[in-house]
């Protein structure tokens, strides 16, 4: 099992560029989510999905789009990158009932994004 795989690990973007952060899991987890972590702060939920074809917004969704066409993949799209989106992005997955119960998450190793 590879767990949760995030690519790329590092990325530098120019303001206004768009890009997609990839997240894939091989554990057949229904639930997937994206968090961002800014320096010295905890993680904040961007978007989440409880199954293929179903997505919803978290705390800080503005500037990001997601889709969930398969169980395995949950890409995060930055539409027009801004310096305020400089952050570390973590993808997490879990079985739905465990996620709803607040435990059982597997996190990826993160994507470090800098927008200049």
Partner 1 sequence: DAKTTQPPSMDCAEGRAANLPCNHSTISGNEYVYWYRQIHSQGPQYIIHGLKNNETNEMASLIITEDRKSSTLILPHATLRDTAVYYCIVRASYNQGGKLIFGQGTELSVKP
Which residues bind to partner 1, rule: CB under 8 A? Answer: 4, 31, 33, 40-45, 48, 50, 56, 58-59, 90, 92, 94, 96, 99-105, 107-110
Q: How far is the CB of 46 from partner 1 (least distance, A)?
A: 11
Nearer to partner 1, 26 or 59 (CB): 59
Long-range pairs, 64-68, Cβ under 8 A, ≥24: 64/34, 66/34, 68/32
Beta carbon of residue 69, minimum distance to partner 1 (angstroms, whole number): 20
User: Least distance from C-beta 39 to partner 1, angstroms?
Assistant: 11
What is the C-alpha to C-alpha distance for residues 91 and 68, in angstroms, rounded to an integer?
13
Name, in order, each residue with C-beta under 8 angstroms of 53's C-beta and a sequence gap of 6 or more. Answer: 68, 69
With CA atoms as reference, report the closest residue to 7 among 115, 87, 85, 112. Answer: 112
CA–CA separation, 42 and 24 (whole Å) = 23
Residue placing its CB nearer to partner 1 in the complex, 14 or 42: 42
In the complex, least distance from residue 16 CB atom to partner 1, rounded to whole angstroms: 28
Residue 19 or 50 having the CB closest to partner 1: 50
Tell me whether residue 17 or residue 58 sits nearer to partner 1 (CB atom): 58
């Amino acid at each position: 099992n590879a767990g949760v795989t995030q690519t790329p690990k590092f990325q530098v973007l120019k303001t206004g560029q768009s890009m997609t952060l990839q997240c894939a899991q091989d554990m057949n987890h229904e639930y997937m989510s994206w968090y961002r972590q800014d320096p010295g702060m905890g993680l904040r939920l961007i978007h989440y999905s409880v199954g293929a074809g179903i997505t919803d917004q978290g705390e800080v969704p503005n500037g990001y789009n997601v889709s969930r066409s398969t169980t395995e993949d949950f890409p995060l799209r930055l539409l027009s990158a801004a310096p305020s989106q400089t952050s570390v992005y973590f993808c997490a997955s879990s079985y739905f009932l465990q996620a709803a119960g607040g435990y059982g998450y597997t996190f990826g190793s993160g994507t470090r994004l800098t927008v200049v």
